[in-house]
Amino acid sequence: MSKSFPGPNNQCIECNQCITSTCVNGKCHSTNNTNQCNDNNPCINQDACSVGTCKGNPVTCQADNNPCTVGDPVEHDWAA
């Protein structure tokens, strides 16, 4: 869901990078865009907006046994 609100100088402030909001008569009007985006997932690349959501292509992330490497798959024991 898009969250936009009127900001200074009759500009809308949009919280979703895949939504473009414009201010018309003091109200924000939102539309989906197809901009490049970033979902901050290192195992997804070529991110682009589609129907208001940032989507991309999955890539295989291989573990290198270095706990400081960004993008290594991490196993979690959610039941713990």
Average the pLDDT over 14-23 and give the result: 89
Task: Write the single-letter amino acid at 65.
Answer: N
Q: What is the pLDDT of residues 31-59, one digit of tens each?
A: 999 999 999 888 888 999 999 999 999 88
Higher pLDDT, residue 26 or 54 = 54
What is the distance between the alpha carbons of residues 26 and 16, in angstroms, rounded to a whole number? 20
Helix (H) or strand (E) holding 47: strand 44-50
Distance CA 54, CA 20 (A): 13
- Going from N- to C-terminal start, the domains of the chain cover 4-58
Full-model pTM: 0.61
For 18, counting Cβ atoms within 10 Å of its Cβ (0-12 exposed, 13-18 middle, 19+ buried), the class is buried
